[in-house]
Amino acid sequence: MNETLKAIAKRYSCRNYAKRTIDDSLLEAVAMAAVQAPSAMNNQPWRVIMVTNQDLIKEMDAEGLRIVSEWEDKSMYESLLKRNGAICCGAPCVVMIPMRKGAGMDCGILCQNITIAASSLGLGSLICWQAGIALSGSKGPDFTRRMGFPADFEFGMAVLLGYENSPGEAHKPDPSKISYVR
């Protein structure tokens, strides 16, 4: 099996990160893999913001958790509390991906590049829409300003990155989901 397929096969959604800083060279490699993603007509309707400022991440975690605690359905809030009460799971890097309106497919492809690159470099990752919850509250404009979101972009997705606290297991693929039309 080639190295790319190995990285895909071992990747899993990491929700428990070690308190260990990621070397800048690895962050740069992941960021470059991200912007090498294909997009419709090569429009590249995204930005890649590598957030390693732990104070900012903790502020966004707290605001996101506050917002979720006010939702009528408490299931996500309870789930987050069980998972150390942090939306960003203690990740040392949150890759925020603002996008132009309607660019969800391109944003998804970019996220996949990030997670495969991270896996190939020995990093854990988690595609995390919940990281955008903090942007929906009253502090959202301040957060987006501090991260440098372009004015005409909206939150697309986030990817958490870091070293795993303990190794996880990739999901078992289901070959029954595959069919061939010949």
Give the number of other CB atoms < 10 A from CB of residue 177: 6
- CA of residue 8 relative to chain centroid, distance: 16
- Per DSSP (E only), the strands in the chain are 49-51, 93-99, 124-127, 154-162
Strands (E), 32-166: 49-51, 93-99, 124-127, 154-162
Prediction pTM value: 0.94
Q: 76: buried, middle or exposed (CB in 10 Å: 19+, 13-18, 0-12)? A: middle
Q: What is the DSSP letter of 134?
A: G
**What pLDDT, on the 0 to 100 scale, is given for residue 129?**
96
CA dist 135 and 155 (Å) reads 8
Instruction: Write out the two tokens for 45.
Output: 């309707």
Q: Which of 164, 16, 146 is nearest to 88 (CA)?
A: 16
Alpha-carbon dihedral sign for residues 135, 136, 137, 142: positive
Residue 170 has a pLDDT of 87
pLDDT at 125: 97
Specify the CATH class of 3-166 in words. alpha beta
Locus of tokens 């890097």:
93
One pLDDT digit (tens) per residue for the chain, 182 residues: 799 999 899 999 999 999 999 999 999 999 999 999 999 999 999 999 999 999 999 999 999 999 999 999 999 999 988 877 899 999 999 999 999 999 999 999 999 999 999 999 999 999 999 999 999 999 999 999 999 999 999 999 999 999 998 888 888 999 999 999 99
